Amino acid sequence: MEKYFVYIIKSDKGNYYIGQTNNLEERLIRHNQGRSIATKNKGIWKLVINREVKSRSEAVRLERKLKNMKNSAKAIDYLIHLV
């Protein structure tokens, strides 16, 4: 069974990005190589937090919920306390 992750990254310029993937290591590399339109030219990205979920549909739902929070601190706090 394939693993999926919801993650929050932060750039050295202070930007945050919330996403989901089935390969966290490769996805972070792609962000830092400028191969993602949403994060291109926004600095070097570092992983802040991630959570593994059971399915892609669950990852998409959680990603959407975090993005709707409109506040990266609230999203990070939510993931910290997610069981």
Asked if residues 53 and 5 have their Cβ atoms less than 8 Å apart, the reply is: yes
Task: Write down the pLDDT at residue 67.
Answer: 96
Q: Within the chain, what is the greatest distance between any pair of CA atoms? A: 36
Alpha-carbon Rg for the chain, nearest whole angstrom, is 12
pLDDT classification of 1: cutoffs 50, 70, 90: confident
What is the domain count for the chain? Answer: 1
Q: Which domain holds residue 36?
A: 4-81
Strand partners, 19: 7
9-18 confidence digits (pLDDT tens): 999 999 999 9
**pLDDT band, very low/low/confident/very high, at 82 (cuts 50, 70, 90):** confident
pTM of this structure: 0.93
- To 10 degrees, what angle do helices 72-81 and 56-68 make? 140
Which tokens is 63 given? 């990603």
Instruction: Check residue 76 and give its pLDDT.
Output: 95
Which CATH number characterizes residue 60's domain? Answer: 3.40.1440
Share of the chain above pLDDT 90, in %: 94
